[in-house]
Amino acid sequence: MSKPNNIWKNERNFDDESLKKQRYFFVAEHNDLISKARHDLTARELKIMDYVISKIKPDDEHFNLIVTSMYELSNVLDLKRNGRTYSQIANNLSSMRRKDVYIYNEEERSITMTGWFERAKVWENGKIELKVNEEFAPYLLKLKDKGNYTQHLLIDTVKLKSKYSILLYKLMRETQEKDNQTNGPVLVGSLKDFKEALGAPEKYNYGRLKDKILKPTIEEINLMIDDMDLHLYEKKQGRKVVLAKIRNEWSTTSDTQIPIHDWLDVSK
């Protein structure tokens, strides 16, 4: 998206909430959006979507218009505030309008095919308006009534640099909360399972997936996320790896799921 050099010169912050406080909002998603959705978002686009989801309140009946700004997005997502970053964010929003996401519904045996935003509008002074596509209502609204959801602090995904790290982090959170696993939650899958879940190149064999994605991703999560200590295990038939297991060996003694009604109550 080509922009005049002076387009962001009159930027203003359109949100009075504390920017630091916003990083500790909760991101709550239906588990199907984590484990059964297929898409091709970049790391920054994943963070933008998490930011948008963190603005959804537990009792929202429909998707409200999200009003924010380049200033706010850059600060909350820990990005450099300059014209180049703002132009990249505008491109990210445009890309997210066009990119498809496919969500499989096991009960209906159906696939929802849609885009992330119903619309996105950017002003020359940096103001942004976003409206989430209504197709996401079953996966983002009234989750307290539906159950089968996973939540995490926005700051966790903000800290991660790789899109693979963000996706694996979400899968590990889902594994822990869905199965109430507090004694070493384990994510198990075949080569095909992990490639699909993480959006890895189709041409990767297990060796390349391990070296290029799994090992670096596990190292980044272990470094940046306080309550994760991930370890990779393999099940072989002969010399061939048929299953990979990723276990969180960080010691926990109780259920760490945060009550959904506390999403936006950061005072507790």
pLDDT in tens, 25-35: 999 999 999 99
Verify that 168 and 238 share a domain, yes or no: yes
Residue pair 182/227 in contact by the 8 Å Cβ criterion: no
pLDDT at 14 over 80: no
Q: Tell me: do 94 and 174 sit in the same domain.
A: no
What is the structure's pLDDT at 177? 79
| Residue ranges making up the domain that contains 202 | 160-248
Same domain, 184 and 232: yes
Average pLDDT over residues 228-252: 91
- Residue 172: pLDDT band (50, 70, 90) is very high
197 part of a folded domain: yes
Give residue 256's pLDDT band: very low, low, confident or very high (50, 70, 90): very low
Instruction: Say whether both 34 and 147 belong to one domain.
Output: yes
Q: What is the pTM of this model?
A: 0.87
Q: Is 149 in the same domain as 235?
A: no
Domain count along the chain: 2
CATH (domain of 88): 1.10.10.10
Is residue 203 located within the same domain as residue 185? Answer: yes
Mark whether 131 and 44 lie in a shared domain: yes
Q: Which of 136, 153, 170 is the last residue of a domain?
A: 153
Same domain, 140 and 170: no
Please check whether residue 187 lies inside any domain of the structure: yes
Sole residue written with tokens 């300059």? 82
SS (H, E, C) the chain: CCCCCCCCCCCCCCCCCCHHHHCCCEEEEEHHHHHCEECCCCHHHHHHHHHHHHCCCCCCCCCCCEEEEHHHHHHHCCCCCCHHHHHHHHHHHHHHHHCEEEEEECCCCEEEEEECEEEEEECCCCEEEEEECHHHHHHHCCHHHHCCEEEEEHHHHHHCCCHHHHHHHHHHHHHHHHCCCCCCCEEEECHHHHHHHHCCCCCCCHHHHHHHHHHHHHHHHHHHCCCCCEEEEEEEECCEEEEEEEEECCCCCCCCCCCHHHCCCCCC
Q: Clarify whether residues 39 and 144 are in a common domain.
A: yes
Tell me the pLDDT tens digit for each residue of 98-146. Answer: 999 999 988 888 999 999 999 999 998 999 999 999 999 999 999 988 8
- Compute the half-sphere exposure of residue 33: CA atoms within 13 Å on the CB side of its CA: 22
Q: Are residues 32 and 137 in the same domain?
A: yes
Q: Are residues 77 and 103 in the same domain?
A: yes
Task: Please tell me whether residues 134 and 25 are part of one structural domain.
Answer: yes
